[in-house]
Amino acid sequence: MFASQRREEIYKLARDRQFISVAELSGIFQVSDVTIRSDLKLLEQQGKITKNYGGASIISEDVQPLSTTSQLLSGIKAAIAREAAALIEEGDSVFLDSSSTTILLADAIVGMSDVTVITNSIPIFDKLKEYRSGTMIGIAGTLSPYTQSFVGPFAEEMIAKLRVSKAFIAPKGLLPEGLRDTSVQEAAIRSKMMASADKVIVLADHSKFNNENVVFSICGFDKVRHVVTDQAPKAPFDSVLQQKGIEIRVANLT
């Protein structure tokens, strides 16, 4: 990746999250802290971000706050979560990745019986910590304070030793060649979950399709059995998913 491309991706990440640290950016792009600080200095000179202690914040006035964006999408994500919940059966063991949509899916699981939930997400663990009619298993690892999830080699090793009936994965982007993420560590976790599941269900609202702002590959569509979304995918995804035998489930938004 060219330096100019990396700086553009840094700006997009800051825009989406409102704040991002030097340490996380260094891990995402696999460059030194010195290089990231140099990128942030240039972006600040361009008036795109403001440098804070240990990271950068967005300052562009034309960018909608993350909380507002989340509110606009919350109804869609809730509908996707409800549709995904219909795919969970009594006796299932499931991976839930760390995402806002799977957090909503956890709400539905609270009312189910005999489901084993395995997750690296602290918010999901918090929702299910008193889940008495099933089993809750937490994946340990290195804490990512920005996603409130456990990542890294310890988490990946634990996932690789498990086997579940279904994995619910919410990537940050879908391209015709496969699933993408904004974090190399989260991409690795999602990839491991998919590899250790009999069936993979992808949860993705319409904004995730053709989202080229994400750079890290998770994997292709070979293990995906269902895509739950809010709008029927258009070309080229309609033919790509059909060729793979993937069922498209469009959530009811009413």
Q: What is the pLDDT of residue 140?
A: 94
Q: Is the distance from CB of 88 to CB of 107 less than 8 angstroms?
A: no
Token reading at 10: 């840094």
pTM of the model: 0.74
Whether residue 151 is predicted with pLDDT greater than 70 in this model: the reply is yes
Rounded CA-CA distance 217/200 in Å is 16
3-58 and 69-250 share one CATH topology?
no
pLDDT tens string 198-212 = 999 999 999 899 887
**Which residue ranges make up each domain of the chain?**
3-58, 69-250
Contacts 24+ apart (CB under 8 A), 238-244: 240/176
Q: Is the distance from CB of 172 to CB of 182 less than 8 angstroms?
A: yes
Specify the 3-state DSSP secondary structure of 60: coil
pLDDT tens string 9-47 = 888 887 776 678 888 888 888 888 899 989 998 888 777
| Protein fold of 69-250 | Rossmann fold (3.40.50)
pLDDT tens string 102-125 = 999 999 999 999 999 999 999 999
Whether residue 65 is predicted with pLDDT greater than 60 in this model: the reply is no
The CATH code of the domain at 3-58 is 1.10.10.10
